[in-house]
Amino acid sequence: MKKIIVFASGSGTNAENIIKYFSNTEIAKVVSVFTNNANAKVIDRAKNHQIPVEIFEKNELLERNVLQKIQKIDPDLIVLAGFLLKFPENIIEQYPNKIINIHPALLPNYGGKGMYGMHIHRAIVNNKEKETGISIHYVNEHYDEGGIIFQANVALTDEDTPETVAEKIHELEQKHFPEIIHRLLDINSNI
């Protein structure tokens, strides 16, 4: 069975969705959740599913502490699900094409430092975009610039608010993220 580590910084709805999805498969299992936020709701969500949680500080991510913990687990895939820190090159180098992220916009638009969550949804509404969506991509040394694996879009109306955009994006994330992870692990049996 393949091992997945999930990194998250906030509420953890995507992390929990992935945990639940893979608890019903033979292909993989979420074996640990890593977070940089000791108050993140993802901690309770993971513990409710008996998933071990690693809480770390930003400097531990930049040094070797987090990398060493990852190496002990030896994951097949590292999934960033609402993880807000820039992923360090020392981990990316150790796990090429084994780290993926979900972004709540259609990259390359609305990507980069500071572009996450409601910041993106507000910008999309302010710019009167007619559609938005999600992008699942590989992680490289730059924010939101790794190769795109999958995108899904959703139409917007003039009545949409940042909050309704967030709801539409959340639906796309919940539907597609676990399926794309499954497909990646299935296709890349050597991943």
- Tens-digit pLDDT profile for residues 72-131: 999 999 999 999 899 999 999 999 999 999 999 999 999 998 899 999 999 999 999 999
Q: Which of 49, 103, 121, 182 is catalytic?
A: 103
Q: For residues 120 and 76, what is the distance between their CA atoms, to the nearest angstrom?
A: 30
Which pLDDT band holds residue 24 (cuts at 50, 70, 90)?
Answer: confident
Residues in contact with 150: Cβ distance below 8 Å, sequence separation at least 6, in sequence order: 135, 136, 176, 180
**Residue 28: phi, psi to the nearest 5?**
-155, 170
The reply to whether 176 belongs to the active site is no
Q: For residues 184 and 191, what is the distance between their CA atoms, to the nearest angstrom?
A: 8
CB 99 within 8 A of CB 87: yes
CB 52 within 8 A of CB 33: yes
Q: For residues 149 and 134, what is the distance between their CA atoms, to the nearest angstrom?
A: 11
Q: Residue 191: is its pLDDT beyond 80? A: no
Which pLDDT band holds residue 189 (cuts at 50, 70, 90)?
Answer: low
pTM of the predicted model, to two decimals?
0.94
Which pLDDT band holds residue 62 (cuts at 50, 70, 90)?
Answer: confident
Residue 25's identity, in one-letter code, is T
CB 85 within 8 A of CB 61: yes
